[in-house]
């Protein structure tokens, strides 16, 4: 794992990556999915603006700018558009992605912003969730990338990272989403509602809302179907 922290003063600390950085994981069918595959995706034409559901989640759940020192976690930060938005709202952000290209883009996109950015190049399974530390967690397009088994292991740890009153947003591809079959090299999984419920109906003193959103593209030639899961730590 490689970790770097940049504070408002411009100081950066770094750790050397471990040998496991580029090691492959597997999707639900046992197909290897490497960090290099995500590097290639992040080098293409990924989103450069924050996800509309992230914007709505933050606007409805938080009074912005948030108080200094309020922490947020961006799991699967990609090229950094959501991380940048969180920092613009005043959060100190920990941004995590297994793709070195994604982390480099995140650092570039957030350069010069006030606040603290902690970037970590690590797979989800190896990330050390800080206990009861985060007021906000967003996880967009990661749990469908890692598959059901790893998602089941990660969600309780994600919930534990929330402070009392903290909120999390999980955005997952649903069964029937065009992206699942369009990018077989990424091993994406489209979740059924029952699978989503199995992930998040937890006995952790957590409020749960499960919603869905369907977007059609080019007269329904492509269909993006997202599960939107909101968790509130009581």
From CA 221, how far away is CA 24, in angstroms rounded?
A: 32
Q: What is the DSSP string of 9-64?
A: T--EEE-PPPGGGG--EE-TT--EE-HHHHHHHHTSS---S--HHHHHHHHHH--S
From first to last of its 234 residues, what are the pLDDT tens digits of the chain? 556 665 544 433 333 333 233 334 444 444 445 566 656 656 666 667 899 999 999 999 999 999 999 999 999 999 899 999 999 999 999 999 998 888 999 999 999 999 999 999 999 999 999 999 999 999 999 999 898 999 999 999 999 999 999 999 999 989 988 888 777 667 789 999 999 999 988 655 688 999 999 998 888 888 889 999 999 998
Q: Are 159 and 94 in contact (CB under 8 A)?
A: no
Q: What is the dihedral of CA 91, 133, 168, 124, to 10 degrees?
A: 100
- Cβ atoms of 33 and 22 closer than 8 Å: no
- Domains for the chain: give ranges and CATH numbers: 30-233 (3.40.50.150)
HSE at residue 160, side-chain half, CA atoms within 13 A, is 9
Contact 90, 98 (CB under 8 A): no
């Amino acid at each position: 794992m490689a970790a770097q922290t940049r504070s408002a003063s411009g100081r950066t600390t770094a750790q050397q990556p471990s040998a496991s950085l580029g090691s492959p994981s597997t999707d639900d069918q046992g197909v290897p999915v490497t960090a290099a595959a995500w590097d290639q995706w992040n080098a293409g034409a990924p989103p450069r603006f924050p996800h509309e559901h992230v914007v709505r989640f933050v606007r409805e759940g938080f009074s912005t700018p948030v108080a200094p020192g309020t922490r947020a976690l961006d799991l699967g930060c990609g090229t950094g558009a959501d991380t940048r938005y969180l920092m613009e709202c005043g959060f100190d952000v920990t941004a995590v992605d297994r793709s070195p290209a994604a982390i480099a883009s995140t650092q570039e996109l957030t350069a010069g912003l006030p606040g603290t950015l902690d970037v970590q190049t690590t797979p989800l399974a190896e990330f050390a969730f800080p206990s009861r530390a985060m007021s906000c967690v967003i996880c967009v397009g990661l749990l469908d990338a890692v598959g059901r088994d790893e998602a089941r292991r990660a969600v309780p740890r994600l919930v534990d990272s929330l402070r009392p009153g903290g909120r999390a947003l999980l955005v997952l591809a649903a069964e029937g989403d065009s992206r699942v079959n369009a990018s077989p090299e990424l091993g994406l999984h489209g979740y059924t509602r029952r699978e989503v419920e199995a992930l998040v109906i937890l006995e952790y003193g957590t409020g749960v809302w499960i919603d869905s959103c369907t977007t059609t593209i080019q007269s329904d030639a492509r269909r993006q179907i997202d599960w939107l899961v909101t968790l509130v730590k009581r």
